[in-house]
Every structure is written in structure tokens, then in C-alpha cells.
């Protein structure tokens, strides 16, 4: 696994991009930056075993290097199911294609994964039993998020599941300050320097726009989901399950 050193030398004024430099170190970046990330992938596999139905599709929207797609593939216990993995970053899709190809060679009997380079807002969603938005919605403009969630709801079959993982903000300023400090301490314990932490935070400003858990839940319920609940939280990172 290549070591993430992007923000040791990155221009402090450069906004965060999912380019080739990030793609090359992305697994290490996620592991060291997002507390609870590996647990979320394990749970995605468990949810796939429970919710994915024969003859349906699963979608990984904003798939990056395909970790959630592979977690679903490992969990699926039924035949005749395809996973559609979508990302608009060419560097991510290119590297994802290699990772998925290697995994499918090792485990040829699993569900097929179709990789699509494109905008998730333009992706046709239909006959879905499971959709994953793993730290993806936060990168969409606020004005487009309701539309995205409604399109997912419309594309899901009855009793289908959406897994939504996001960085969030707390409505209590004191608690939000504590959670940010704890997250930065998590990064320091994973050998990021104060300079790297500061530079990445600046690079993500106005690129990643977090919301509160309440805002996410309200959006899901407005779209028509019958229930939505946080099933995993670690500091200011959460995963939410929503059932159609």
C-alpha cells in the first residue's frame, strides 16, 4: 500500500482533487484519515448478504477504487446480480479497473462489476436492491443532494437499502469543536503532521461540505424512505442505513 504523502508538498492553495496522485495513495489516505472506515466496509458486506436479491442490481456511487463494490461482492449470497460502480474521476476509474480485475480473477464466481466513468447524477438507477454512497454525497453541491437521494429512492426496489456514509457537523458548536480536535488527534496518531492536517483541511474547504445527521435523516425521509438510522459513528464520521 503506497504511503500518503500528498500534503507534505502539496500547494496549500490547491483544492482537493481525485487525481492520479491521490488515486495512487487513496487506500492509505482513507485508512489513516477516516476513523471507522474499515468497519463500514465490513458492514456493507453484511448488509449485502441480507438485502441483495437475485436478479437485481447494486450500485456503488462515487466508487473511487471500488472498496465498497468489493465489499458488496464478498457479501452477496445470491445469483444473477450485477454491481454497477460509478465515478467521474478518470484516475480513480483507471486504477479501480485494475483492482477489480485482479479480485475477479482470484474469486471468479462472484457478482459481475460494471465500471462506469460518469456523473452519478446522470446515472440511470433501476431494479436496485442496494445502493452505497460511501463518503460521496458530501462532495455534491448542496442544491443537488435532494435530487440525488430522490433518484436513488426511485431506483430502489421495495425493501431495498441505501448505505450513506458521510462526514458530519454537530449542531452544538462546543461538541463540533471537540469532534474536530479528536479527528485531528486520530490523524496525528496515524503519523500525519500538523502541516499535512492543516493543508488538507484547507484543500477540502468548499469542496467537501458536511451537514448534520438531522439534515441527512430529514432528506431521506422526505424522499420517501420508510426508516433511516445511524448504525455506525466514530467522531464526526457516520454511516446511515435507509430502507425503502
Cα 194 to Cα 5, 8, 184, distances in angstroms? 13, 10, 9
- Residue 25, Cβ density class (10 Å: 0-12 exposed, 13-18 middle, ≥19 buried): middle
- The pLDDT tens digits for 48-78 are 999 999 999 999 999 999 999 999 999 999 9
Write down the mean pLDDT value for the chain. 95
Number of domains present in the structure of the chain: 1
Listing DSSP states for 110-121 in one string gives S-EEEEEES-GG
Assigned domain for 24 exists: no
Assigned domain for 98 exists: yes
Assigned domain for 111 exists: yes
- The pLDDT tens digits for 78-116 are 989 999 999 999 999 999 999 999 999 998 989 999 999
Assigned domain for 72 exists: yes
- Residue 220, Cβ density class (10 Å: 0-12 exposed, 13-18 middle, ≥19 buried): buried
Assigned domain for 239 exists: yes
Assigned domain for 184 exists: no
Assigned domain for 220 exists: yes
Domain extent at residue 127 = 37-169+207-243
Q: Give CA–CA dist 129/126, Å, rounded.
A: 9
CATH code, domain carrying 127? 3.40.50.150
Assigned domain for 233 exists: yes
pTM across the whole model = 0.95
Amino acid at each position: 500500500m503506497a504511503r500518503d504523502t500528498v500534503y507534505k508538498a502539496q500547494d496549500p492553495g490547491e483544492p482537493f482533487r481525485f487525481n492520479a496522485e491521490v488515486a495512487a495513495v487513496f487506500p492509505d489516505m482513507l485508512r489513516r484519515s477516516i476513523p471507522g472506515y474499515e468497519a463500514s466496509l465490513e458492514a456493507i458486506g453484511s448488509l449485502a448478504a441480507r438485502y441483495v436479491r437475485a436478479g437485481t442490481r447494486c450500485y456503488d456511487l462515487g466508487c473511487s477504487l471500488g472498496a465498497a463494490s468489493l465489499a458488496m461482492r464478498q457479501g452477496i449470497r445470491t445469483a444473477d446480480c450485477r454491481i454497477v460502480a460509478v465515478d467521474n474521476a478518470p484516475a480513480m476509474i483507471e486504477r479501480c479497473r485494475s483492482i477489480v480485475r485482479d479480485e475477479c480473477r482470484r474469486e471468479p464466481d462472484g457478482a459481475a462489476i460494471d465500471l462506469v466513468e460518469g456523473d452519478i447524477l446522470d446515472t440511470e438507477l433501476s431494479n436496485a436492491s442496494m445502493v452505497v454512497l460511501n463518503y460521496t454525497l458530501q462532495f455534491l453541491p448542496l442544491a443537488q443532494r435532494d435530487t440525488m437521494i430522490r433518484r436513488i429512492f426511485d431506483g430502489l426496489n421495495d425493501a431495498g437499502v441505501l448505505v450513506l456514509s458521510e462526514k458530519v457537523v454537530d449542531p452544538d458548536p462546543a461538541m463540533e469543536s471537540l469532534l474536530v480536535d479528536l479527528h485531528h488527534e486520530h490523524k496525528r496518531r496515524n503519523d500525519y503532521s500538523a502541516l499535512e492536517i492543516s493543508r488538507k483541511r484547507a484543500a477540502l474547504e468548499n469542496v467537501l461540505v458536511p451537514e448534520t445527521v438531522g439534515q441527512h435523516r430529514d432528506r431521506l425521509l422526505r424522499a420517501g424512505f420508510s426508516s433511516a438510522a445511524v448504525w455506525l459513528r466514530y467522531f464526526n464520521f457516520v454511516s446511515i442505513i435507509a430502507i425503502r
